[in-house]
A = this chain, B = another copy of it.
Amino acid sequence: MSEFQPKNNDFENVVRSSFSRQPFMEFVGARLGLVEPGSCEITAEHQIGLTQQHGFFHGGLVSSLADSAAGYAAYSLFPKDSTVLTVDFKVNFLNPSDGERLRAHGEVIRAGRTLYHVSGSVYAERNGVETLCMKGLFTMMCLHGRSDAAKLGKEKEMA
């Protein structure tokens, strides 16, 4: 299904392990869905704490899910002993993020040696119908030879 070949056969475990070490994802109740080479899904259920003044999911939360989904879509293609950092992203809000559930989907467009270009989409599900509410472009960086599990020190001067 995917056009990408993972460099690390254990990519799914590696992604799931990293996700479980992102406290912010747990904090907002996000769950990791399907992980495939170059592709990743993250969902979050509605809770008041995630909304803005009009009752929609907050745009920052919407882009946070997309950022993580895009990062892990890229990370699924990285070699062993590497970690991922977001260089930049751009998001367009197309429709209000109104519903019971958000589903963010990241998909790698171009995998380089160091830089990965990733497309991100977020859908809001309301009464069983999904509406595309955000579309984004993400630039991710592969830090070769850096552990994903440790708090970065000097290596944080990364790019």
Is the pair A137, B98 in contact by a Cβ cutoff of 8 Å?
Answer: no
Q: A22 contacts which chain B residues (CB < 8 A)?
A: 51-53, 58
Is the pair A86, B96 in contact by a Cβ cutoff of 8 Å?
Answer: no
Contact with B along A1-30 (1 / 0, CB 8 A): 000000000000000001001111111100
CB within 8 A of A93: which of B49, B54, B87, B119? B87
Question: Which bracket fits the contact residues of A?
Answer: 35 or more
- Is A63 an interface residue when CB atoms closer than 8 A count as contact? yes
A83 to B110: give the CA distance in the assembly, Å: 21
Secondary structure call for the A interface = mixed
From A50, which residue of chain B is reached at the shortest CB distance?
B24
Q: A67 contacts which chain B residues (CB < 8 A)?
A: 58-60, 63
A52 to B110: give the CA distance in the assembly, Å: 22
Of the listed residues A49, A88, A93, A115, the one surrounded by the most CB atoms of chain B closer than 10 A to its CB is A88
Given contacts A55-B151, A58-B64, A114-B159, contact A93 B86 (CB under 8 A): yes
Is the pair B26, A54 in contact by a Cβ cutoff of 8 Å?
Answer: no
Contact with B along A83-105 (1 / 0, CB 8 A): 10111111111111010000000
Is the pair B24, A51 in contact by a Cβ cutoff of 8 Å?
Answer: yes
Is the pair B136, A96 in contact by a Cβ cutoff of 8 Å?
Answer: no
Q: A152 contacts which chain B residues (CB < 8 A)?
A: 54-56, 96
A113 to B141: give the CA distance in the assembly, Å: 13
Is the pair B85, A156 in contact by a Cβ cutoff of 8 Å?
Answer: no
